[in-house]
Amino acid sequence: MRNITIIGAGYVGLVTGVGLAEFGNKVICVDIDKDKISQLKSGLIPIYEPGLEEIIKRNVKSERLYFSDDISLSIQKSQVIIIAVGTPQTSEGDANMEYVNSVVRAINKNLKDYKIICTKSTVPIGTGGRIIKTLSNDFEEGIDFDYVSNPEFLREGSAVKDFLWPDRIIIGTTSDKAYEIMCDIYKPLYINKNPIKHTTVETAEMIKYASNSFLALKISYINEIANLCETVGADIHDVASAMGQDGRISDKFLHPGPGFGGSCFPKDLESLIAISKEKNIPMETLSAAKKANINQKAKMGTKLENLINASLKGKKIAVLGLSFKANTDDVRESSSIDMIEFILSKGGIVSAYDPIANVSMLKLFKNISYFDNVYDAIKGADALVVMTEWNEFRALDLPRIKNIMKNAFILDTRNIINMSELSKLGFVYDNIGRIKI
Ligand SMILES: NC(=O)c1ccc[n+]([C@@H]2O[C@H](COP(=O)([O-])OP(=O)(O)OC[C@H]3O[C@@H](n4cnc5c(N)ncnc54)[C@H](O)[C@@H]3O)[C@@H](O)[C@H]2O)c1
C-alpha cells in the first residue's frame, strides 16, 4: 500500500485515483476547482462515466480514497505524486503546459522528503526532462526525488474498465527504486499477468503520442475509404469487416463516422505535428489525417444539405447525440459542434437531444433547444441527424418517428440505423459509405 496524491480530478485523475485506491493504495484526489472537490466530498460525481460512482463510493467508504483542495498538504502526505491536469491545445497547435507548470511549482514548494513525481497527463516529448531539471535546480540539499512518465490510455465511456484491466502500463523512468514503487502501486495487475513495460521517460512520452496519432490516422483512413465507397458502389460495412479479419489490421477503429473528436485525438495529433515541425522531421501522414478529419466534419453538413435537397433556412433539424462518442458527457471537439454550427450558419433551427451531454453542450450553445426525450426533439423536424452512437439510437421507434416528423429525412453519420427498415417506411436517408437499400 502506498500513499498517493493525484493532482487534477478530471476524467483521468478521478478514474486513476479510484483505480489505484481499488488496487489497495491510499489516494488523495486534489483539484484547484473547489466546487468540484466539495461535490465529490458530498458524494456527487462531476462527470458521467459508467461504473464510476459505484466504485468511488466503495473506496471512500473503505477509507482508501479522499478528496481535497489543499494541494500542499496532500503533497506532503504522499510518497507518489501523480500529475493528471489538462494539457489542452493552444491556438498554435502545441500543448498548453500552464497547468502542468503550475503543478510543478506547487510540488517544488512542498518537497520535504523523498517523492516520486509522476506525469500521467499527455505531455510533449521532452517535458519530463524539463520537469526533472526544474525540480533539481530548486531542490533543497539532501532531498531526493525520482521522475516517472506513466501515460494513460483509458477511453472515456469505458474508463473504469480500461484502468482496471489495461492492455499495458508504461513506466518511463531511469530510477530502479521508482520503477519498483510504481510496480507496487499497480501490484494486483502485476500478480496476474505482467502488462508493465519499463522504458525511458522520453520513450514513454512518445508511446502515448504515437498510439493516439495512429488511432486518429486509422479513423481518417477508414472515413476516406467510406467516402470513396459511396462513389464506386462499394459498401464500407463489408469492406471494413473484411479488412478487420486480417490480424495485421484488426477490426478496431475501422468504423467510419462524422470525424473524430474528444479531448485527446485532435489535440494529441496536433501536438505531435507541432513537435515534428519543431524537430524538422516532417510527418506527412499526421498532417493528412488531420486534414481528412477537418474535411470529414465539413462533409457532414454538405451531406445534410444534399439529403434534403433544399436550403436549411428556417428548417428544424433534430440533432441526436452531442457527446463526441457514446457513454460520456464530454463534448470537447465533438463533431456535433461542427454540425450545429453549420445548421445555424445556414439559418436552420436545432432541436438537440443527448441522454447525458445536454448540460455540457448548453455551455457552448445557448441558442438551440435541448430536450430530455428523443421523440420530443424529433417532433415536427424537417430532418434528423444521428451524430453519436448511443445504443438508444440503435433502437429508435422508426414508425413513430415517421409519424411525428414533418419531413422524413434521416442522416445517420454513425451507420447504426437499419437501412431496410428506413427504406420500407419511406424515409429518405443517407449514411457513411453504405450501399443504400
Ligand atoms: N480524457 C481522456 O480520455 C484522456 C485519456 C488519456 C490521457 N488524457 C490526458 O490526461 C490529462 C487530463 O485529461 P482530462 O480529460 O482528465 O482533463 P480534465 O479537463 O477533465 O481534468 C483536468 C483537471 O485538472 C484540474 N486542474 C487544473 N489545474 C490544476 C492545478 N494547478 N492543480 C490542481 N488541479 C488542477 C482541473 O480543475 C480539472 O478538474 C490530459 O493531458 C489528457 O490529454 C486524457
Q: Is the CB of 340 under 6 A from ligand 1?
A: no
Task: State the pLDDT at residue 112.
Answer: 86
Q: Is the CB of 17 under 6 A from ligand 1?
A: no
How far away, in angstroms, is 252 Cα from ligand 1 center? Answer: 26
Q: Is the CB of 11 under 6 A from ligand 1?
A: yes
Question: Which residue stretches of the chain have pLDDT < 50?
Answer: none
Q: Is the CB of 12 under 6 A from ligand 1?
A: yes
**Closest C-alpha residue for ligand 1 atom 20:** 10
3-class secondary structure per residue, the chain: CCEEEEECCCHHHHHHHHHHHHCCCEEEEECCCHHHHHHHHCCCCCCCCCCHHHHHHHHHHCCCEEEECCHHHHHHHCCEEEECCCCCECCCCCECCHHHHHHHHHHHHCCCCCEEEEECCCCCCCHHHHHHHHHHHHCCCCCCEEEEECCCCCCCCCHHHHHHCCCCEEEECCCHHHHHHHHHHCHHHHHHCCCEEEECHHHHHHHHHHHHHHHHHHHHHHHHHHHHHHHHCCCHHHHHHHHHCCCCCCCCCCCCCCCCCCCCHHHHHHHHHHHHHHCCCCCHHHHHHHHHHHHHHHHHHHHHHHHHCCCCCCCEEEEECCCCCCCCCCCCCCHHHHHHHHHHHCCCEEEEECCCCHHHHHCCCCCCEEECCHHHHHCCCCEEEECCCCHHHHCCCHHHHHHHCCCCEEEECCCCCCHHHHHHCCCEEECCCCCCC
pLDDT in tens, 111-153: 889 999 999 999 999 999 999 999 887 666 667 899 999 999 9
How far away, in angstroms, is 190 Cα from ligand 1 center? Answer: 26
Q: Is the CB of 361 under 6 A from ligand 1?
A: no
**Closest C-alpha residue for ligand 1 atom 17:** 86
Q: Is the CB of 212 under 6 A from ligand 1?
A: no
**Residue of 5, 6, 11 with the most ligand 1 atoms within 8 Å of its CB, for mutation:** 11
Task: State the pLDDT at residue 142.
Answer: 65
Q: What are the CA-CA distances from residue 208 to residues 144, 153, 201, 330, 331 (Å)?
A: 27, 8, 11, 21, 22
Task: State the pLDDT at residue 118.
Answer: 98
**Residue of 5, 7, 12 with the most ligand 1 atoms within 8 Å of its CB, for mutation:** 12
Task: State the pLDDT at residue 92.
Answer: 85
Query: Mind telling me the catalytic residues?
Result: 264
| Alpha-carbon span 118 to 248, nearest angstrom | 34
How far away, in angstroms, is 210 Cα from ligand 1 center? Answer: 20
| Alpha-carbon span 222 to 358, nearest angstrom | 29
Task: State the pLDDT at residue 141.
Answer: 65
Which is the closest atom of ligand 1 to the Cα of 85? 24
| Ordered structural domains, the chain, with CATH | 3-199 (3.40.50.720), 265-430 (3.40.50.720)
Task: State the pLDDT at residue 190.
Answer: 74
